[in-house]
Amino acid sequence: MTVELDARAKEILRGNDRGGYTVPTHGLYPYQWNWDSVFSAWGFSTFDLPRAWVEIETLFASQKADGMVPHIIFHQVDPGYFPGPDVWQGGGEPPTSGISQPPVAAILARLMWEGDRDAGRAAITALYPKMVAWHRWWMEHRVVDGVAVVTHPWESGRDNCPDWDHGMAGVDGSNVGEYHRRDTGHVDADMRPKKIDYDRYLAIVYAGRSMGWDQARVLAEGPFLMTDPAVHFILLRAMDDLAAIGRDLGQDVAEVEGWAETLRAAVPDMWNPDLGAYDAYDLKSGQWANNLGTGAWLSYLAGVENAAMDARLTKAWDKVRYGIPSADPEGATFNPKRYWRGPSWAVMNALIALGFQRMGHEAWDARLRRETADMIRIGGFAEYHDPLDGSPCGGANFSWTAAIWLTWAG
């Protein structure tokens, strides 16, 4: 069984390879997505290391002059996905979107590099200054008072999770006109964000576009701005990993270490005492999200933990059977099949497990790995899974789920 799943996972990655970059899955997502691509690279690194490094090189080839690495790169126009390059108008050749995605590159590149330094030396040496530039972009354009923020739910990678409900309520989506969604033609509409969400996603894109994606203006004037503990902890961990890579390469890492210090010093500011956990905060309306979600779970990744929160989190985990739920199972809006509002994501479980490993939570790591493997055995290489019964949700033959099987779960 395991051998068969290994072979199938490799087949999926090879099948989603479009030559230098990997699509998340055929049909639903026909372009290169930033963090999907890095997870795919990690997956490739288990059986084709040169191909793995090429994946990250292709991603960074679309880095903007200001250092941003875009969230989607539209290599070949495909009518199967909306909104495409004509809507985004993010510039570039190939064209890109106008926002970024969680900066996991340094975290996984370090693992790849430490797995085989000789094979990775040239690639990591070329990549290092690009990753520094991207992290500088985050510090300059997506960190407010030391805390990481997102200017669009898509920038967080967790589109419709309950974290964003307050911020989204403040976005006027009534003027976006008629448009034709393609996602619901590929997968069950009950597993996707709702129309009201899409109207607002588009309204935020139109606002950024009208500012010519001037990122200082997007931050200051955009219609959505929330702190994101998940991105914060990912960025903080990525800073530590980037500094480690830099030291290995004999670079002066003082600037990177300084960024890590800034982010670390602000961790207490993300603590919501009423929730008893790290939480997202809406900078527009001044409200906590009050959601026990992925952000809290990712704290371990950055070497942060809190005994009071541990108990809250494990209680939520115990309510489901297959991995970490993307929203609190006891929350009023929990839905085990609707995208980021409850389902378990193999890719998130793997990232959370890297945190457990960092903090020496071996039993949690083993449990999460077992549950994720079981979920994939039940539901296959789906985009994500129902955390109650492991059934497959969203798109099938998903690159990042295949990658997680090969690197950690399988």
Kindly list the catalytic residues: 159, 383
Phi, psi of 149 (to 5 degrees): -125, 160
- 38 or 245: whose CB is closer to ligand 9YW? 38
Q: Which two tokens stand for residue 186?
A: 């590929």
CA atoms of 91 and 162, how far apart (whole Å)? 31
Q: Find the helix packing angle between 105-115 and 117-141, rounded to 10°.
A: 170
Q: Which two tokens stand for residue 180?
A: 């034709």
DSSP 3-state of 252: coil
- 99 or 132: whose CB is closer to ligand 9YW? 99
Asked if residue 53 lies in contact with residue 125, where contact means CB atoms within 8 angstroms, the answer is: no
Name the one range near ligand 9YW by CB under 6 A: 31-39, 135-143, 294-302, 401-409.
31-39
Among 17, 36, 163, 241, contact with ligand 9YW (rule: CB under 6 A): 36
Amino acid making up residue 24: P
CA atoms of 70 and 85, how far apart (whole Å)? 12
Residue 73's CB: how many other CB atoms inside 10 A? 23
Residues 59-78 that bind ligand 9YW (CB under 6 A): none
Among 29, 42, 271, 356, contact with ligand 9YW (rule: CB under 6 A): 29
Among 88, 128, 154, 297, contact with ligand 9YW (rule: CB under 6 A): 154
When asked if residue 85 is in the footprint of ligand 9YW (CB under 6 A), the reply is no
Q: Residues 202-241 vs ligand 9YW: string with x where CB under 6 A?
A: ----------------------------------------
- 29 or 137: whose CB is closer to ligand 9YW? 29
When asked if residue 159 is in the footprint of ligand 9YW (CB under 6 A), the reply is yes
CA atoms of 236 and 110, how far apart (whole Å)? 14
Among 22, 27, 30, 35, contact with ligand 9YW (rule: CB under 6 A): 35
Least distance (Å) between residue 3 CB and ligand 9YW = 27
When asked if residue 199 is in the footprint of ligand 9YW (CB under 6 A), the reply is no
CA atoms of 101 and 110, how far apart (whole Å)? 18
CA of 130: how far to CAs of 125, 137, 157, in Å? 10, 11, 21
Least distance (Å) between residue 129 CB and ligand 9YW = 25
Least distance (Å) between residue 86 CB and ligand 9YW = 15
Give CA 147 to chain center in angstroms.
17
Amino acid making up residue 229: P
Binding site for ligand 9YW (CB under 6 A): 24, 29, 33, 35-36, 154, 157, 159
